[in-house]
Homo-oligomer: A and B are copies of this chain.
């Protein structure tokens, strides 16, 4: 059985089916519950083909992450830099709190810590998101809100870092106020000439 929705050769259709099945399995069972057997069952692709091409559950996660990176991501445009940065940090906070998307996103992060292919995929994914987000900093520079010398990507990195730190390092809750503070702190550092 193959999914026929997308154009492309047999190989592309198999890959698509396996990546979609991986995302669904991650949503339902998390990183630790992901098995090649279950992805085979859900995708209709034979187990031995999956082992040959993806190697392991971590290989499946790395490939699914590439799919996630290609999905459209809403870059906020509130009219002010502080509004845009707060929207970004709130998007990150709410994303991990979401009962559907949160476990998948967390599974990606855990997999990246345990597998170098997943870590590479994570680096590519976060670079893509950060490059897109840096657009809002460039718009602020164009509006005269911020000095042109500010490192746009570094500002985005600093805005989201405290949220990830609480979620995945110290295991502390993250409130909407924490998201606002993280954005404001990064902006303050940028305005002080540090970023």
Question: Could you tell me which A residues sit within 8 Å of B by CB distance?
Answer: 31-32, 106, 109-110, 112-114, 119-120, 122-123, 126-127, 157-158, 160-162, 164-166, 168-172, 181, 184-186, 188-189, 191-192, 194-195
In the complex, the answer to whether A194 meets B171 with C-beta atoms within 8 Å is: no
Interchain CB contact under 8 A, B171 and A161: no
Known A119-B171, A122-B169, A186-B189; 20 more pairs at CB < 8 Å: A106-B113, A109-B168, A110-B110, A113-B168, A120-B171, A122-B171, A127-B170, A157-B165, A157-B170, A158-B162, A161-B161, A161-B165, A164-B164, A164-B168, A184-B189, A184-B194, A185-B194, A188-B191, A189-B189, A192-B192
Name the residue of chain B whose CB is nearest to the CB of A170: B126
Q: How far is the CA of A115 from the CA of B15 in the complex (A)?
A: 31
Q: Which residues on the B side are within 8 Å of A181 (C-beta)?
A: 194-195
Question: Do A170 and B110 contact each other (CB < 8 Å), given the known contacts A158-B185, A186-B185, A195-B185?
Answer: no
